[in-house]
Structures are given as C-alpha cells and as structure tokens.
Amino acid sequence: MKKLFEEFKAFISRGNVLDMAIGVIVATAFSAITNTLVQKVFMPAIGLLTGGSDFTDVLNITVKAAEMAEDGVTELVPATVIAFGDLVAAIINFLLIALICFAIVKAFNKAHEVANAKAIAAKKAEEEAKANEPQPPTTEELLTQIRDLLEKQNKA
C-alpha cells in the first residue's frame, strides 16, 4: 500500500498533471464565455434576422400529441417530438463557437508574430550595433605597435 501511495505521489507531483488540470479549468471558464456569447449575443441577433423565431420551436415535428388527464392540465404521457430545431440550433451554436475560437486563436497568433518580429528586429539591431563598434586591436597588432615604438625610441 505504501508503494502504491508513493507511486501516486510521484504521478500527481509531475508538472504535466498540474498543467492538464489548469488546462481543464481554463477550458471550462472559456466554454462559459463562448456559450454566453453565443446564447446571449449571437442567437438573439439571429432570431431577429429570422423574424424573431427560435429554431427549437419552429422546426420540431410532433409525431404524437401528449396524452392529457381529464383536467386538461396534467400531462399523462409526454408528446413524441422529432426535434430538428434543437439539432439546427446545436449546429449553429457549434459553428459560432468554432468561429469565435478561430478568431481568438488567429488574434493570438498574430500577436505572437508581432512579438517575434519585434524580438528579431531588436536582436538584429543589437548585432548591427556590435558590428559597427570599433574592434579592439588584436595581440599581433599590439605587439607590432610596441615594436614600432621601441624602434623609434632606439633610433632617437
């Protein structure tokens, strides 16, 4: 049992498990944002464009009506409905969420490209600045200068 606990401790303390958990948490939060954007912003706008109708009600086909009690309020057997409207709404939701994710990824990639271009430009400017700096004399050049100075001193 102790060995099993030690193996579990080693597994859970790995960085990739923590990364995966954080990814799931962030994905859940992102899902809430995209679902709200689709359901509360885009779908009402689409409803306005289609005459204020909701696909879930318009495209559903009732195969068998509900069986009601004698009071007319209590439903004994629910209606049998083929819900094409729900399918169309789900497809539209998926396409809108995919479009939003695509736009976010595209914007992120563009920002990443801009940041990389700036970093490359800064590195290139730094390399050019180093290339334009006067180079210190080599050991041979220094020795040659010393020799020449000594010869001048000996001649004088």
> What's the pLDDT band for 22 if we cut at 50, 70, 90?
confident
| Structural domain includes residue 146 | no
Per-residue pLDDT tens over the stretch 62-85: 888 888 888 877 778 888 888 888
| Structural domain includes residue 64 | yes
| Structural domain includes residue 147 | no
Rounded Cα distance between 147 and 106, Å, is 65
Average pLDDT over residues 110-117: 92
Total domains in the fold of the chain: 1
| Structural domain includes residue 136 | no
| Structural domain includes residue 148 | no
Q: Which domain holds residue 17?
A: 2-104
| Structural domain includes residue 89 | yes
- Which CATH number does the domain housing residue 71 bear? 1.10.1200
**Residue labelled with tokens 């606990």:** 5
Average pLDDT over residues 143-155: 88
Per-residue pLDDT tens over the stretch 27-55: 888 888 888 888 888 888 877 877 766 66
| Structural domain includes residue 126 | no
- What's the pLDDT score for residue 29? 87
Taking the CA of residue 151 as centre, how many other CA atoms within 13 Å lie in the half-sphere pointing to its CB? 6
64 vs 110 pLDDT, higher one? 110
| Structural domain includes residue 47 | yes
pTM of the predicted model as reported, rounded to 2 decimal places: 0.54
Rounded Cα distance between 46 and 52, Å, is 8
